[in-house]
Amino acid sequence: MSDWGEISVNNTKQLKEDGLKKRIFNINAFAGIDRNGLEFRNIERQLLLYTTQQGEKIYIQYPGKETKTNDINRIRPWDFRPKLKLNNGCYIKDLSFADIWDDLYGIKELQKETLAILVTVFFRMAFMIDTEPVCSECCFMDMNLLNQVEAGRGIQRLKWYSYKPNTELMKYLNQTIGKIRGASIEAYLYYNDLLVQNEDCKYFYKDTHINEKKWNTKAGRYNTLMTHISVIEFLQGNMKFSQIMNKFQRGRGVAPVTQKSLYKASNGLITK
């Protein structure tokens, strides 16, 4: 594990405060994306946000299904979904969190070192440690889904905190984990990062605009990625099946790892 000491994390109050500021910044950035003339299942836009070392492309596509509902309490106007285009031109299917947990189960035979590193990667993602502020000129393409034709192209300016994982670490994980659903681990992590970004946008809107209360900062990015870690904790043999099921039941679909479990799950890479 000493080779990856550079990704070790001290789980401090300052870390959480810095991460929260970045989350709020990104929520506002994605809320401000131009959506004029777009409609779910009619005219949708694909915005390119990431290209991997292996040539895969990760987009967000919007508006999402939660932008169109007759129930005002369920509408989420900033909803989008990530799209992952493999380097052969094919897209992977839209993934649910259950799909991702199945994928994690599929890599359960990995060495303990690799699983511990993946725990640390998800933890760092939860607090947006490996992000950088960028002002990007992102290419987009509009699609008329009713007629199955392209409806236009352009540029969207986006100032946001972009996920920038360690290049050598991505090479290591690509070698040790291999591909998931035909995608490199780098692409898969970008996809996950955008998935939890959308969760942040939706929960923030629900709390502050619909319910007119303070945002529950554990909902969204934090609880989802911490649940990924709980799944790995189970795969490591550090938790019984009944224990993780109870966590999911109590958490109503999420099962965030406890703070005291992080040190063991990360093999010491995450400290108090």
pLDDT at 18: 97
* Angle subtended at Cα 171 by Cα 167 and Cα 172, rounded to the nearest 5 degrees: 115
Query: What per-residue confidence (pLDDT) applies to 3?
Result: 64
Helix residue ranges per DSSP H, 97-237: 97-106, 112-126, 167-177, 185-205, 221-235
Q: Where are the alpha helices (DSSP H) in the chain?
A: 13-31, 97-106, 112-126, 167-177, 185-205, 221-235, 241-250, 262-265
What local confidence, expressed as pLDDT, does residue 251 receive? 87
DSSP 91: B
Q: State the Cα–Cα distance between residues 231 and 233, nearest whole angstrom.
A: 5
Res 2: pLDDT: 44
Low-confidence stretches of the chain (pLDDT < 70) are 1-3
Delimit the domains of the chain by residue range. 2-271
Tens-digit pLDDT profile for residues 187-211: 999 999 999 999 999 999 999 999 9
pLDDT in the model for residue 1: 42
